[in-house]
Chain A
Amino acid sequence: DGGITQSPKYLFRKEGQNVTLSCEQNLNHDAMYWYRQDPGQGLRLIYYSQIVNDFQKGDIAEGYSVSREKKESFPLTVTSAQKNPTAFYLCASRIDRVQSDNSPLHFGNGTRLTVT
């Protein structure tokens, strides 16, 4: 079955450590996204990528980094510079070949990161 896989589901880290969240998709989608959700709040865009080797900052990119070396993969690194890293992180992908396309986002199951 095609889909988006995020791993791990739960992640615990000590403050000051960098941590990388995995996101893999086999939907052959061009665009991939990372969102962050805090309790009781909506999703905020961290980074997105339309094609391999290219990505753009979202609204809250500070303290995060990404790479897009392969179409299928879009890992997110939460660095020690991110002041409040504890959150629910959601990866999504979307067909993005035609600018007028009304294609929706497809989400992975998310990773809950807790930093203490």
Chain B
Amino acid sequence: RKEVEQDPGPFNVPEGATVAFNCTYSNSASQSFFWYRQDCRKEPKLLMSVYSSGNEDGRFTAQLNRASQYISLLIRDSKLSDSATYLCVVTAQGYNKLIFGAGTRLAVHP
């Protein structure tokens, strides 16, 4: 089993739709969780950290479920500019080793 798994997609949604991605992780000792966004042929950029109580940043909401070992990202009112690959990141084997999921592709169409 991979340490961090994501549905590769693609998720094709119309503008204005709500879309959700999940990411499962295998190490129950993982402490830090993040969502990154990566545009084609660019470096990943931090979208948001994921906190135990869940957190929201504008149209984006992140949740953590430690019991089931997954994190989620919800995007409301999708924009064309949200089209990208979304990567989840989890610490593994201690605090300093950060492992990426393979990413979920989102395509928002008019």
Residues of A whose CB lies within 8 Å of any CB of B are 31, 33, 35, 41-45, 48, 50, 56, 58-59, 88, 90, 94, 96, 99-102, 104-110
Residues of B whose CB lies within 8 Å of any CB of A are 31-32, 34, 36, 41-46, 49, 51, 87, 89, 95-103
Interfacial chain A residues near B42, Cβ < 8 Å: 109-110
Whole-angstrom CA separation of A108 from B44 in the bound complex: 9
Task: Kindly list 5 other residue pairs between chains A and B, CB separation below 8 angstroms, not including A56-B97, A58-B97, A107-B43.
Answer: A42-B87, A42-B102, A59-B99, A96-B95, A102-B31
Contact call B97/A43, Cβ cutoff below 8 A: no
Contact call B34/A43, Cβ cutoff below 8 A: no
Whole-angstrom CA separation of A41 from B89 in the bound complex: 14
Interfacial chain B residues near A44, Cβ < 8 Å: 100
Whole-angstrom CA separation of A94 from B25 in the bound complex: 21
Q: A102-B32, A104-B49 are in contact. Are A45 and B97 (CB under 8 A)?
A: yes
Contact call B97/A41, Cβ cutoff below 8 A: no
Whole-angstrom CA separation of A41 from B44 in the bound complex: 13
Whole-angstrom CA separation of A42 from B51 in the bound complex: 23
Residue of A nearest to B35 (CB): A104
Interfacial chain B residues near A33, Cβ < 8 Å: 98
Identify which of A43, A48, A96 contacts B100 (C-beta below 8 A).
A43
